Amino acid sequence: MSKFTQNFTAPSHGVELRSEALSLIDSLPVPTRRSERWKYSSVSKLANSTLSTHKGGAVGLEGWPEEINPNPIPELDAYRVVFRNGVYEPTLSDLPIADGIVCMPLSSISEDLARTIFNNEYHKTEWVGALNAAYFQDGLYLHVSKNIKLDRSIVVHHLTDGENVANFPRHYVRIEEGGEADVVVWSNATEKSSGMCNSLFEASVAPNAQLFLEKITNEAGDIYSLAHDFITQEANSRFKAHTFTIKGSWVRNELSIVSVGKGTDSIFNGAYMPCGSEHVDNHTTMDHTFPDGTSSELYRGIMYGKSTGVFNGKVFVRPDAQRTNAFQQNTNIVADRGASINAKPELEIYADDVKCAHGCTVGQFDLEALFYLQSRGLDENAARTLLVEAFIADVLSSVPSKELSDEIKRLYSERHLWS
Amino acid sequence: MLKIKNLHAKVGDNEILKGLNLEVGPGEVHAIMGPNGSGKSTLAAVLAGREAYEVTEGEVELDGVNLLDLEATERAREGVFLAFQYPIEIPGVSNLNFMKAAINGKRSHCGLDPIKPKEFLAKVKECSSLVELDGRLRDRSVNEGFSGGEKKRNEIFQMAMLEPKLAVLDETDSGLDIDALRVVSKGVNKMRSKDRSFIVITHYQRLLNHIVPDFVHVLSDGKIVKSGGKELALELDEKGYDWLK
């Protein structure tokens, strides 16, 4: 056992996956900058730290820190599944109970079921993935039956609270044919917290079904936030994801979508505005393996202060994926001299009858536009605010609920002192 | 009203204005003509407070306020308006939100509460009809996808919304066809009043048939080399600028 994992305790559920992952951890290298996937996102400081998984149980409202609302989007009428340091908080949660919906903590599902649900191979290929699979604590299990539409969003709330905490949330969602659901995954951390939140979200969307996923990272403290989302889409299914990084000292979001049936539709958008010495990394993969699929990706970021960023967008169009229509755009503004971003689109197209467009830009604030606004009497802050709001408006406007997009906008504006 | 004394300005190491003097009284319309590169647009940029232009000498006062001490924002709030030669397209910023922010910026500068929505809308309606800017354009993002003429009409719309003391029109006639020129000029003429002054920068006499100036000045090599009444523009149209050098 390595020094890094010595204080991690593996819960007793999900044995098969765990034992496989445990046997692999030591053979998988800790990623270094020599690996292309991790070239601009170093985890060496993390790998040399000493973290522990949380030992106690649920704390309820009494043990919950005052600075964080257990319900992160007060205006949104939603179900809630709450985890503090990876531990499920039943009294702060409100799960849907309805015909055709099975929703429970992942730790409660049977071993037989646990054996069959996860299909991603992240634990076989990446050290980070093996860590999650070996030590995952709890998470959302959601099963939506055929033609059932979940009436409200489910908010999955992760809180990291404490020093040198290792969190391993793991979530699973299955939407059967014609079913629909919207899941919000919201990650918070208290001011004094430190450690890691290493989460995995796997979903599979059946023919003609629909899944919306909104991911928001708003972590104070000093947290390595590593999220891996793995989505499988069957024929004519629809998936829409939004990834917003509001705050976080080190954030890496990996989103991987595989289309395994004809006519899938995938939309995934994101925004980030790091400041100080924050690091934000978005790695996305869209894999078209069947014909007639469409995908549309829009990520926008503004880099402030001395922040660093990474955007890597892979799009594969396999030989059978004829008539694929794939669009990707990544637009970045480097607002301050000390900030930087490495942006890289990667398109691999093996089918001949396809429409693929991509654009990737890194620029500065448009000084002409700024002067134009100021010459009409807007002060510099108001002028910049208008430009920033306009810049991320296309990402915010496609968020499915107004309550959520308003809250995200409010948090951004609070953080960046928009007028 | 506006007093410019011995104004010198440069961009980088390139001195462009070399001792310009100009007085504009309340309600007056002054046309500034002159060959390419004489410093006309530099004068407009310096008045509006564009940062790339460095004033090395001289004074600019508007109603006793030294404009050169102020940022572009504050100049606008003091009543300076520049109609751009090339208005900027700003995708995603709604024209009306922009105008509301601009009006409220000015109002807070004057110690007033933000404009009431009803009052704002009435003003929008009035000012857009002045330049025949239809609702479709008015409600869009700032200048996004506008034709050359539509952009210039939008400039005059903004001018009407902001009711400046001093409006500087920088080659507002460039890129306009005859009909658009007429509409824009009509808008400007309706805005003329005893306490609003205009500086109209243009290459062509044609605009001055519509916006009839009280004075015409010829700018050459960074200085005003000749001033006269509206008939000077006609003379320039006939003879060109060479005889003044």
Residues of A in contact with B72 (CB under 8 A): 371, 374-375
- B164 reaches A (C-beta below 8 A): no
Contact B51 A373 (CB under 8 A): no
Summarize the confidence of residues A102-113 as an average pLDDT: 96
Note whether B97 contacts A387, CB cutoff 8 Å.
Answer: no
- Candidates A271, A276, A297; CA nearest to A409 is A271
Interchain proximity B48–A375, CB inside 8 Å: yes
* Per-residue pLDDT tens over the stretch A112-131: 999 999 999 999 999 999 99
**What pLDDT was estimated at residue A417?**
80
- Cα separation, B241 vs B225, in Å, equals 10
Give the pLDDT band of residue B241 (cuts 50, 70, 90).
confident
Q: In this prediction, what percent of chain A has a pLDDT beyond 90?
A: 96
Mutate to test the interface with B, among A374, A394, A418 (most CBs of B within 10 A): A374
Chain A residues whose CB is inside 8 A of the B102 CB are: 373, 376-378
Q: Which residues of A touch B84 (CB under 8 A)?
A: 372, 375
Shortest CB distance from A393 goes to which of B81, B92, B98? B92
pLDDT in tens, A197-209: 999 999 999 999 9
CB atoms A374 and B93 under 8 Å:
no
C-alpha to C-alpha distance for A23 and A35, rounded to whole angstroms: 22
pLDDT tens, A343-383?
999 999 999 999 999 999 999 999 999 999 999 999 999 99
Query: Residue B133: pLDDT band by 50, 70, 90 thresholds?
Result: confident
Calculate how close chain A gets to B93, using CA atoms only, in Å: 5
User: B88 to chain A: which residues are within 8 Å by CB?
Assistant: 366, 368-369, 372
Tell me which chain B residues have a C-beta less than 8 angstroms from the C-beta of A395: none
Q: Is the pLDDT of residue B243 over 90?
A: no
Q: Indicate if the pLDDT at residue A93 is higher than 60.
A: yes
A379 part of contact set with chain B, CB < 8 Å = yes
| pLDDT at residue A42, rounded to an integer | 93
Q: Of B50, B91, B102, which is closest to A371 when you measure between CB atoms?
A: B50
Task: Please check the confidence at residue B143 and state whether its pLDDT lies above 80.
Answer: yes
pLDDT score recorded for residue B162: 96
State the complex-level ipTM: 0.95
For position A204, what pLDDT does the model report?
98
Interface membership of B154 toward A (CB under 8 Å) = no
B93 near A CB under 8 A? yes
pLDDT category of residue A419 using cuts at 50, 70 and 90: low
CB-based contact (8 Å) between A369 and chain B? Answer: yes
Q: Find, in chain B, the residue whose alpha carbon is nearest to that of A385.
A: B93
pLDDT in the model for residue B136 = 76
CB contact B165 to A (< 8 Å):
no
Inter-chain CB proximity A369 and B105 less than 8 Å: no
Q: Do B97 and A386 touch (CB under 8 A)?
A: yes
Q: Are A377 and B158 a contacting pair at CB < 8 A?
A: no
Q: B59-74: per-residue pLDDT in tens? A: 999 999 999 999 999 9
Alpha carbon separation from B58 to A59, A279, B141 (Å, rounded): 71, 48, 39
Q: What percent of chain A clears pLDDT 70, i.e. is strictly above it? A: 100
Among A374, A380, A390, select the one facing B90 at the smallest CB separation: A390
Say what the pLDDT of residue B245 is. Answer: 67
Residue B87 has pLDDT above 90, yes or no: yes
pLDDT at residue A388 is higher than 80: yes
- Chain B residues whose beta carbon lies within 8 Å of the beta carbon of residue A382: 101, 105
Q: Min CA distance, B97 vs chain A (Å)?
A: 9
Residues of B in contact with A368 (CB under 8 A): 88
pLDDT digits (tens, 9 = 90+) for B97-109: 999 999 999 999 9
| The 3-state secondary structure of chain A, one letter per residue | CCCCCCCCCCCCCCHHHHHHHHHHHCCCCCCCCCCHHHCCCCCHHHHCCCCEECCCCCCCCCCCCCCCCCCCCCCCCEEEEEEECCEECHHHCECCCECCEEEEEHHHCCHHHHHHHCCCCHHHHCHHHHHHHHHCCECEEEEECCCCECCCEEEEEEEECCCCEEECEEEEEEECCCCEEEEEEEEEECCCCEEEEEEEEEEEECCCCEEEEEEEEEECCEEEEEEEEEEEECCCCEEEEEEEEEECCEEEEEEEEEECCCCCEEEEEEEECCCCCCEEEEEEEEEECCCCCEEEEEEEEEECCCCEEEEEEEEEECCCCCCCEEEEEEEEEECCCCCEEEEEEEEEECCCCCEEEEEEEEECCCHHHHHHHHCCCCCHHHHHHHHHHHHHHHHHCCCCCHHHHHHHHHHHHHHHCCC
How far apart (Å, rounded) are the C-alpha atoms in residues A259 and A238? 10
Q: Quote the pLDDT of residue B175.
A: 85
Going from the N-terminus, what domains does chain B have, and what CATH number goes with each?
Answer: 2-244 (3.40.50.300)
- Minimum Cα–Cα distance from B158: chain A residue: A376
- Please report the pLDDT score of residue B224 as a whole number: 95
Q: What is the mean pLDDT of residues B104-119?
A: 94
Chain A contact present for B39, CB below 8 A: no
**Per-residue pLDDT for A1 more than 70?**
no
The whole-chain average pLDDT of chain A stands at 96
Residue of B nearest to A380 (CA): B73
pLDDT tier at B237 (50, 70, 90 boundaries)?
confident
